[in-house]
Amino acid sequence: MKKTIITRRSLLKKAAALAAGSAILMNFPARIFGSASGKKSRVILIRDENVIDADGKINAGIMQDMLDKAMLQLTGRSSVGDAWKDIVRPSDIVGIKTNVWRHLPTPPELENAIKKRVMEAGVKEDKISIRDRGLLSDPVFKQSTALINVRPMRTHAWSGVGSLIKNYIMFVNNPSSYHDDSCADLATLFELPVVKGKSRLHILVMLTPLFHGVGPHHFNKEFTWPYKGIIVGFDPVAVDSVGLQIIQARRKEYFGEDKPLNPPAKHILLADTRHHLGTADPNLIELVKMGWKEGVML
C-alpha cells in the first residue's frame, strides 16, 4: 500500500470545500475522509440517567433495556428477538470480545445482557465465549464465526484512546507490533484471518468514560464522568468516531479550552482514510440519539 504523507498544508488544500470536524479526530485543521460511497453508517447512542446509581452500581435491568432499545433502532426490527436474529444464527460460534482493564472493564451487566440475547437467538451456551485475553487459545474464539466487540472508551497514552478498533489487538500474539506511529494502522487487525468478516456488532461503553490521563496508566475517577450511555453500530469506525467526539467535548468542558489528545487518536481517522474499514466522517454517520438528553454533548 502506497503511504500518503498527510501534512497540515496538504490537508488544508484538499479540505477547502469541506466542513470543519476532524479537529476532534486528530487535531487536524479540517477534514479529509476516505469514504466516497456517500453511504451513511447508522450509529445508536442511548443513555439512561438511572443506569448507574449514586454508588456507581450498574442497574442490570436498565442496562438490558438500553441494549434492547438500541438494537431495535439499529436493525429497524419490531422485536428484540428479530433484531438479534439479524446479528447471530443458531449455528454461530460467538466470541464476545471485552476489555478487562482493571480500572474500567467491560461491565459484567452488559456482557450478560448480550449473552442472554445471543442465547435467545439460538446459540448454545458452550458456543459462546466472553473474554479479552488469551483469545488465540480459546476454543470458541479460535473457531468463532461471529464476533461481538464491546468495551469502554478511555484515553490511552499511545493511541489517543482505547477504542473498538484497538480492542482487537488481543487477536495477535505481539500487540506491540501494532504500536508504530501511535498505533496508526490498528484497522489492519480487522484483516486478520481470525477476525476478517466475522464482526457482527460493536458496542462502545460510555457509562463512565475516562477523558484524561497523565502518563501510560494513570487512572483517577476525577477524570471520568457519569455519561451513562452506550454507542452501538455495525461500523466500528463510526462508533469510535462518535465516542471520540464525546471524549473531546468533555475535555473541552472540563479544561475550559481545547485540549487535544496527545497523541491524537489518529488510528480512528486512518481506519477510514487509509484502510477504508468504515467512516469516521461525522457527515456520513447517521447518529440516532435516544434516552437521557442532558449533557449529551453532541
Partner 1 sequence: MKLSLQFLLLFTLLPYGAMTNAQPFPELPARFNGWSLTDKLILDTHQSLYDYIDGGAELYISYGFKNAISCRYTKEGQPEVTAEIFDLGTASDAYGVYSQTRDKEEKDYGQGSYYVSGAQFFWKGRFWVSLMTGETTEESESFLKTLAAFIDERITETGEPPAILSVLPAEELVPGGTLYFHHYIWLNSYYFIASDNILEIDNDTPAILAKYGVPEERIYLLAIQYPDSTKAGQAFASFEQQFFPGGLDDNTIKTEENTWISAGLYYTTIIVVFNGKEKTKARELLRKARDLVYLNQDQRSKIKE
User: What residues contact residue 181 under an 8 Å CB cut-off, 6+ apart?
Assistant: 266
Is residue 10 part of the contact set for partner 1 (CB under 8 A)? yes
Q: Which is nearer to partner 1, 28 or 84 (CB)?
A: 28
| Contacting residue, 24, 27, 48, 207, with partner 1 by CB under 8 A | 27
Is residue 9 part of the contact set for partner 1 (CB under 8 A)? yes
227 grid coordinates = 455519561
For residue 29, the tally of other CB atoms under 10 A from its CB is 13
Q: Return the closest-CA partner of residue 268 out of 156, 175, 192.
A: 156
**Pairing between β-strand 199-210 and β-strand 146-156 as defined by DSSP bridges:** parallel
| Contacting residue, 40, 42, 85, 103, with partner 1 by CB under 8 A | 103
C-alpha–C-alpha distance, residues 294 and 49, integer Å: 9
Instruction: Determine the interface stretch with partner 1 among 53-61, 243-251, 257-265, 288-296 (rule: CB under 8 A).
Output: 257-265
Instruction: Determine the interface stretch with partner 1 among 9-17, 53-61, 87-95, 233-241 (rule: CB under 8 A).
Output: 9-17
Is residue 253 part of the contact set for partner 1 (CB under 8 A)? no
| Contacting residue, 1, 2, 3, 293, with partner 1 by CB under 8 A | 3
| Contacting residue, 79, 91, 143, 220, with partner 1 by CB under 8 A | 220
Is residue 263 part of the contact set for partner 1 (CB under 8 A)? yes
Size of the site for partner 1 (CB under 8 A): 44
| Contacting residue, 19, 20, 29, 120, with partner 1 by CB under 8 A | 29
DSSP, collapsed to helix, strand or coil, labels residue 154 as: strand
For residue 231, the tally of other CB atoms under 10 A from its CB is 25
Read off φ and ψ for residue 291, nearest 5 degrees: 80, -145
